[in-house]
Chain A
């Protein structure tokens, strides 16, 4: 007892926290884009590819979605050097998050593709559309509309997930918070402010994504 909150002591460190937030956002965007690439490929293979390849993708997805991201990154960071692959902590985190995202985004997009197959059938009944026009005007807009909300939702989850980079010494938001905590020992202040930044950051991201999805794809994202 007798702990007095002193936020004044940590305000000078706010710029460092904001730098950390910026880095967290960058990691999230990079890993998300990489994951989206893998996920699109994976979903295409699972929906349209040969059986053996689809099974390999299935194994990848099942393994990565059923094990913790943190332990995956531990493995990449500590075990790969045994096989002669040396990753910096930042690269290990980025690779781990990308592979993890790839698995989840494969699943999300596969569901989207499947719903598009149905609309494809309906669309083919529409007279006079060429195959290309069908894809351009019917299937893609539909897929975008269906996929946008779960994809943006996963981006938010990933933004929060960047916090585990701190475990590997990456100085993103949580990493900076740990540093500042060990310098000031104002733990409650540091971590409440950090939590606040995460809330604001993800709220802004959610609102912007929802607005964009609505504008671009007429996608309805549930905000709250």
Chain B
């Protein structure tokens, strides 16, 4: 296997192939980053909906609850297929990247909403009470008082989710999005051995994920000790 790789290497390590792989890595990163960024926005809305009170908002709470439970309990691949065929049936000519990005956004929204809800709940009850007694609405309380304190609790696990998500997006290759895993398949089909094609892509994933994971660990340590204090 190794001699085969050594034999193929000069032909593999061309400028063209590296550019191709770099582009694919960019797509991989873009898929998870887009999912996490949009997912943070929707996740925040879902989390706020879930901790809202009042009988009028009950349907909203139930809906947000169902959304987070369902999309955390359906495999990536199945959600991807639903998005893929859903788009195929109801819209024409949607780029595959968009289909995959919608999938990552849905899934990330569900997971991040749980992380954000945990962060909001981590802020001491007396902060809510003081705000309530001074006529803050729930949204004003979240915006001015709770979020500025909760972000320290939210950021480390949210970042951890992002790093994990980079690996999950490998499944987007199944609908033909040209991200890293798909690129490995392309190179394999071009005649390079599977060991080389998938081996190199594994290493690229590692080169992306490992530093980010380390960064995440550092972030957690940095933010942990003074959780409830100054911004």
Contacts and interface: CB of A to CB of B under 8 A. Distances in A.
A and B touch in the complex (CB under 8 A): yes
Interface of A: 1, 3, 62-63, 65-72, 74-75, 78-79, 81-83, 156, 160-164, 166-167, 174, 177-178, 181, 187-188, 191-192, 194-195, 198-199, 202-203, 224
Contact of B73 (A1, A74, A166, A199): A199
Interface of B: 1, 4, 65, 69-70, 73-79, 81-82, 85-86, 88-90, 167-168, 170-171, 173-174, 180-181, 184-185, 188, 193-195, 198-199, 201-202, 205-206, 209-210, 213
A203 B66 CA distance: 12
Given A66-B205, A187-B85, A71 B184 contact: yes
Contacts of B184: 71, 74
A108 to B, nearest CB: 14
B198 A79 contact: yes
A207 B37 CA distance: 32
B85 to A, nearest CB: 3
Contacts of B206: 63, 66-67
Given A71-B181, A71-B201, A187-B85, 9 more contacts: A1-B90, A66-B206, A67-B209, A70-B173, A70-B181, A74-B184, A74-B198, A162-B75, A198-B73
B194 A163 contact: no
A166 B70 contact: no
7 closest Cβ pairs, A-B complex = A187-B85, A78-B194, A163-B75, A79-B195, A68-B170, A68-B167, A66-B209
A75 B74 contact: no
A202 B195 CA distance: 35
A72 B201 CA distance: 10
11 contacts: A66-B209, A67-B205, A67-B206, A68-B205, A71-B198, A72-B202, A74-B198, A82-B1, A83-B1, A195-B82, A199-B69
Most chain A CB within 10 A, of B78, B167, B205, is at: B78
Given A70-B171, A82-B194, A195-B78, A75 B70 contact: no
A139 to B, nearest CB: 27
A191 B85 contact: yes
A195 B86 CA distance: 14
B155 to A, nearest CB: 20
A66 B213 contact: yes
Given A62-B210, A78-B194, A67 B73 contact: no
Contact of B168 (A62, A66, A68, A75): A68
A74 B195 CA distance: 9
Given A67-B202, A82-B193, A198 B69 contact: no
Contact of A198 (B78, B180, B198): B78
Given A74-B184, A74-B198, A198 B205 contact: no
Nearest to B82: A191
Contacts of A156: 73
Given A163-B78, A198-B75, A79 B89 contact: no
Contacts of B174: 167
Contacts of A71: 170, 180-181, 184, 198, 201-202, 205
A68 B181 contact: yes
B198 A78 contact: yes
A208 to B, nearest CB: 15
Given A63-B206, A187-B81, A188-B86, A74 B194 contact: yes
